[in-house]
C-alpha cells in the first residue's frame, strides 16, 4: 500500500519524489543554518583569543548571510529532485538568482564599507591626511549606492523587466523628480564639490557667517560642526558654500596686530625709544617674528602706537600666551622707563574772565563837560 501511494503521480512527479524534494529542502536549509551557526561560534572564540581584523570581517560576513538566501539555495537544490514544468523551474531559478544578487550586494556593501572606513581611519590617525579621509568617507556612500543600484538593475533584468526601456522612462521622469527635489540635489552636488575642491575637511576649524567650530562630519546633504560652546551645528552644504569660509587649520603663520597708547606728557626722546623697546621684547620670545612698531597717530587722549608681528605657529592658545607675555613685559619696561600708559581722560581748560567794557549811550556826561542843563 505504501509503495503504491509513493508511486502515485502528483503534478507530474511521484509522491515519493515530492517527499525526497521536501527532505532535501528541509535538510539543506537546516544544514546551512547549522553550518552558519557553528562557523560563527568558532570565529567568535578565535576572535576572543586572538583579535584579528580578518576574523572580525569573516564573522560579520557570516552574520550578514540572510535566512532568505539559505532558503533559496535549499529550494533550488530540492527542485533538482523533481520534474517540474519549464515555467515553474524558471520561476524557482529566477527567485534564487534574484536572492543571490541581493545577498551579493549585502556582502559587497559591507566589505566596501569596512575597507574604505579602515583606510579612511588610517589616513586620518596615522598620516593626519584629513582631506583624503573626507574623500574616502564620501566615496564609501557613492560606491554603496552604485552597488545597490547595480544589484537592483540585475534583479529587475532577471525578473524579465526590460532595463533599457525602464531607464529611458526613468530619464524622462527624472527631470520632473529633479525639479521637485532640486534642494536635495543641490546639497548633493555641494557635497561632491566639498569632496573634490576640499575647502575644508573633517577636523578643520572654520568660521562662516557668525558661526565658528570644528568640522566633525561631511554628509551628502549636511555638514555637522561642533561649535566652541559645545552644541552641534547642522548646516546645509549649499548654504555653507554660499558663505565666505575662513579655514584656520590651513593657516601656516598668524599675523598679530595690537595697539597701545601713552600719555601726551611723554618726552619725545622716550617716544622715539618705544618702538625699539617693543622690538626687543618680541624678538626675545620664541616662535615670533617682529615686523614693525610705529608711533601711529595722535589719539583723542593718547599717543597711539601700532605693533605688528608674526606667530610662526598658528596655534591660538600659543598666540594668547605670547601676547600676554608681551603685554606684561611692556608694563615692566614702561615702569622702569617712567612711561605711563594712557587711559580715557578729559582735560578741561578754563579761560580767565573777560574784562568788562562800558558801552556808550551817545549821551554826554554833564559832569564831564561842566555845562549846565
Of 211 and 192, more confident? 211
C-alpha cell read off for 210: 557668525
pLDDT at 365: 46
Please state whether the predicted TM-score (pTM) of the whole model is above 0.95.
no
How big, in percent rounded to 5, are the helix, strand and coil portions of the chain?
60, 15, 25
Query: Residue 367 above 70 pLDDT?
Result: no
Roughly what angle, to the nearest 10 degrees, separates helices 182-197 and 130-158? 130
**Local confidence band at 249 (pLDDT 50, 70, 90 cut-offs):** confident
Cβ neighbors of 189 (< 8 A, separation 6 or more) are none
Whole-number Å distance between alpha carbons of 274 and 293 = 8
pLDDT at 172: 56
Q: Flag the least confident range among 47-56, 85-94, 269-278.
A: 47-56
pLDDT at 225: 93
Highest mean pLDDT (candidates 38-42, 69-73, 171-175, 281-285) = 281-285
Query: Residue 181 above 80 pLDDT?
Result: no
Nearest CA to 265 among 347, 349, 339?
A: 339
**Local confidence band at 126 (pLDDT 50, 70, 90 cut-offs):** low
Q: What is the DSSP code string of 234-256?
A: EEEHHHHHTS-EEEGGG-SSEEE
**Could you read off the pLDDT of 293-323 as tens digits, one per residue?**
999 999 989 999 999 999 999 888 999 999 9
What are the structural domains of the chain? 7-160 (no CATH), 183-250 (2.30.30.60), 254-337 (3.30.70.100)
Taking residues 24-39, report their average pLDDT: 87
**Local confidence band at 38 (pLDDT 50, 70, 90 cut-offs):** confident
C-alpha cell read off for 315: 596655534
Whole-number Å distance between alpha carbons of 24 and 18 = 10
Query: Residue 278 above 80 pLDDT?
Result: yes
C-alpha cell read off for 327: 603685554
Amino acid at each position: 500500500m505504501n509503495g503504491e501511494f509513493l508511486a502515485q503521480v502528483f503534478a507530474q512527479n511521484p509522491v515519493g519524489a515530492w517527499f525526497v524534494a521536501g527532505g532535501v529542502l528541509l535538510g539543506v536549509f537546516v544544514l546551512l543554518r547549522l553550518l552558519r551557526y557553528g562557523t560563527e561560534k568558532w570565529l567568535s572564540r578565535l576572535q576572543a583569543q586572538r583579535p584579528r581584523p580578518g576574523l572580525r570581517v569573516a564573522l560579520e560576513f557570516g552574520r550578514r548571510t540572510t535566512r532568505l538566501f539559505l532558503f533559496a539555495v535549499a529550494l533550488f537544490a530540492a527542485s533538482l529532485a523533481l520534474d517540474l514544468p519549464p515555467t515553474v523551474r524558471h520561476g524557482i531559478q529566477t527567485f534564487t538568482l534574484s536572492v543571490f544578487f541581493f545577498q551579493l550586494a549585502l556582502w559587497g556593501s559591507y566589505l566596501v564599507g569596512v575597507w574604505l572606513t579602515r583606510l579612511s581611519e588610517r589616513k586620518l590617525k596615522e598620516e593626519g591626511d584629513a582631506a583624503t579621509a573626507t574623500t574616502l568617507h564620501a566615496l564609501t556612500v557613492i560606491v554603496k549606492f552604485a552597488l545597490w543600484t547595480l544589484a537592483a538593475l540585475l534583479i529587475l533584468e532577471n525578473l524579465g523587466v526590460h532595463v533599457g526601456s525602464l531607464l529611458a522612462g526613468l530619464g524622462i521622469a527624472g527631470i520632473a523628480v529633479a525639479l521637485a527635489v532640486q534642494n536635495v540635489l543641490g546639497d548633493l552636488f555641494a557635497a561632491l564639490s566639498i569632496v573634490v575642491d576640499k575647502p575644508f575637511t573633517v577636523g578643520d576649524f572654520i568660521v562662516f557667517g557668525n558661526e565658528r567650530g570644528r568640522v566633525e562630519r561631511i554628509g551628502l546633504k549636511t555638514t555637522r560642526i561642533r561649535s566652541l560652546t559645545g552644541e552641534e551645528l547642522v548646516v546645509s552644504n549649499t548654504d555653507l558654500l554660499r558663505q565666505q569660509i575662513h579655514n584656520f587649520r590651513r593657516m601656516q603663520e598668524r599675523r598679530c596686530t595690537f595697539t597701545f597708547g601713552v600719555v601726551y606728557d611723554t618726552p619725545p626722546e622716550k617716544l622715539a625709544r618705544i618702538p625699539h623697546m617693543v622690538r626687543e621684547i618680541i624678538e626675545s620670545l620664541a616662535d615670533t617674528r617682529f615686523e614693525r612698531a610705529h608711533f601711529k597717530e595722535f589719539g583723542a587722549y593718547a599717543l597711539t602706537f601700532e605693533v605688528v608681528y608674526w606667530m610662526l605657529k598658528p596655534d591660538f592658545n600659543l598666540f594668547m600666551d605670547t601676547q600676554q607675555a608681551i603685554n606684561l613685559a611692556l608694563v615692566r619696561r614702561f615702569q622702569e622707563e617712567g612711561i605711563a600708559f594712557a587711559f580715557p581722560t578729559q582735560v578741561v581748560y578754563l579761560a580767565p574772565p573777560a574784562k568788562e567794557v562800558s558801552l556808550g549811550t551817545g549821551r554826554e556826561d554833564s559832569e564831564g563837560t561842566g555845562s549846565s542843563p
